[in-house]
Structure 1
Amino acid sequence: MKHALVFQSDFGLSDGAVSAMYGVALKVAPDLKIYDLTHDIPPYNVWEASYRLVQTLGYWPEGTVFVSVVDPGVGSSRRSVVVRTRTGHLVVTPDNGSLTHVHALYGIVAVRLLDETKNRLAGSELSYTFHGRDVYAYTGARLAAGDLDFDAVGEALPLESLVQLPMVPAQKDGDIVSGTIDALDVRFGSLWSNIPYKLFEDLHIPYGGRVEVSIRNDTREVYRNTMVYARSFAEVNVGEPLVYVNSLLHMAVAINQGSFSRAYNIGTGLSWKITIRRAPKIVYE
């Protein structure tokens, strides 16, 4: 049985790199179904690659093979791996941290070292800079086509040997929940935090209630304001900020029909911290 093959990279679509990966996969099995997750990961941004994988993987059928190529260490001693997730998906990728979020949210149950001397496109042995085509797309296609078993990829590796990017878990302290801004809803500029809804729920704030949001970059506060906790953007006026539950069931901040990230020049990563609490009552005398 053949499975879907899904590509992700930082290659963009302005040249032939992605097309070459398609070509290699279709040479392995002309009837493979190949899809794109995204090829617009910012160059070399392993954190973004890790997040976009976890944003998407769980919605694909069991058995789907993902090939994720954001590989600033290509040609170095960094390892290549294939992993099986608890959800039954396979991911082919460099071992550079791009599996961090998948491991944390879905769980990885088995890891195989991808032997690049055996699992590569014939005739590509002298190429050291395009493993996305020569190793990852080729191996991913063989896995998806059923021509290669997971256990035959290479030797088994311990889970704890996988490279993991540092993460700061969200937490609740009294009437405040806090976390980091992990990613942007790129096209619309919303801020996606790592604060799960279940943690926010403990604040017992109803829809339509007001919350206070503070955003800091390291030690500098760059934003503080009160806003509505809403089900959707339509529940606030155009141009008004809101807190909502995003598609990954984490807390997010947005401007209705505007870009929050551009409006306040806010980025992502561990240095960007966010806190949410019930808005304090204002007493007028």
Structure 2
Amino acid sequence: MSQIITLTTDFGLQDQYVSSMKAIILGLAPDVRLIDISHDIPAQDIMAGAWVIRNSAFLFPKNTVHLVVVDPGVGTERHPIVLKVNDQYFVGPDNGIFSLFYSEFEYEAIKLNKSKYWRKERSRTFHGRDIFAPVAAHLINGVSLKELGDPIKDLVTYHWAVPIGDKDGLQGWVVHIDRFGNLITNISEELIEDMIGRRKVRIYVGNTMIDHLVNTFGDVEEGDPAAFIGSSGMLEIGINKGNAAKLLSVDKGAQVSLVLQK
């Protein structure tokens, strides 16, 4: 193992939840390196968590363990699971948080049902501390997947809508809004190259029209909107030194259209 455990949650830092998980991990694996990916996932927003972990996990060394807890169904019948995807391990609830892996990568999934690897005193409402954290530590310590539980095939899956392309252009949606208010869409750079190429387009989002793509939001005047390919490889709408979500009054799920100009 890499001796790295990452943590991604919707817990924030006001309360003791994150430090409690770290305490359990360090009690079992005192030499582990703990890396916080994010604790500012919007509360109970499973797909926001899915987006963040999908775009960060594979930058880490092989055999890193990713502890992901955005778990509005904690204490219900949903399963705790661990996945192995591309030599990375993911520990968390089977509630769709790992959905963005399922159609793109081969994976091995285990239902965590061996309670000897959990904390002895367990709460019904804090599986991050009592199940997921100790399991992550045991993985780092070399416990195999088959020791932690049994294989599971039918996993909870959420799907984002797929962009639509036709002779007039492309239509997609805002799937994520980052801390800066940038509107991240489900329209990939590859799809734009395939469907649009070098032809001129206008980009429409909310009540705003942008007349061309640029390399970065710094290519437009301060306060102006810009359409560009962001670090995730997806089309983004941002405002130079501004918050696009607020200034354009756009929320997740908003339609984004690239219309070809004749």
Alignment of 1:1-285 (within 5 A): 1-85=1-85, 87-105=86-104, 107-115=105-113, 117-122=115-120, 124-125=121-122, 127-146=123-142, 148-158=143-153, 161-186=154-179, 188-202=180-194, 203-205=196-198, 211-215=201-205, 222-269=206-253, 272-278=254-260, 280=261
Letter of the structure 2 residue corresponding to residue 162 of structure 1 = L
Would you say the 8 A contact 2:7–2:37 is kept in 1? yes
**Could you tell me how far 1:211 is from its partner in structure 2?**
3.3
- TM-score under structure 1 normalisation? 0.87
Letter of the structure 1 residue corresponding to residue 186 of structure 2 = N
Q: Secondary structure at the match of 2:37?
A: strand
Letter of the structure 2 residue corresponding to residue 173 of structure 1 = D
Counterparts in 2 of 1:2 and 1:198: CA distance versus 1, 3 Å = closer
Report the Cα distance in structure 2 between the residues aligned to 1:264 and 1:226, rounded to whole angstroms: 12
**Could you tell me how far 1:185 is from its partner in structure 2?**
2.0
Counterparts in 2 of 1:104 and 1:255: CA distance versus 1, 3 Å = farther
Report the Cα distance in structure 2 between the residues aligned to 1:61 and 1:52, rounded to whole angstroms: 17
**Could you tell me how far 1:116 is from its partner in structure 2?**
5.7
**Could you tell me how far 1:167 is from its partner in structure 2?**
1.9
**Could you tell me how far 1:33 is from its partner in structure 2?**
0.5
Give CA deviations for 1:46-87 in whole Å, capped at 9, x if unaligned.
1111111111112111111111111111111111110111x2
Give CA deviations for 1:13-71 in whole Å, capped at 9, x if unaligned.
11111111111000011110011111111111111111111111121111111111111
Q: Secondary structure at the match of 2:14?
A: coil
Letter of the structure 2 residue corresponding to residue 204 of structure 1 = G
Give the number of aligned pairs: 261
Would you say the 8 A contact 2:46–2:97 is kept in 1? yes
What value does the CA root-mean-square deviation take over the aligned residues? 1.7
Report the Cα distance in structure 2 between the residues aligned to 1:14 and 1:116, rounded to whole angstroms: 32
Q: Secondary structure at the match of 2:211?
A: strand
Would you say the 8 A contact 1:32–1:145 is kept in 2? no
Q: Secondary structure at the match of 1:165?
A: coil
In structure 1, stretches of 5+ residues that fail to align are: 216-221
Report the Cα distance in structure 1 between the residues aligned to 2:11 and 2:257, rounded to whole angstroms: 35
Letter of the structure 1 residue corresponding to residue 187 of structure 2 = I
In structure 2, stretches of 5+ residues that fail to align are: none
Match of 1:218 in 2: none
Q: Percent identity?
A: 28
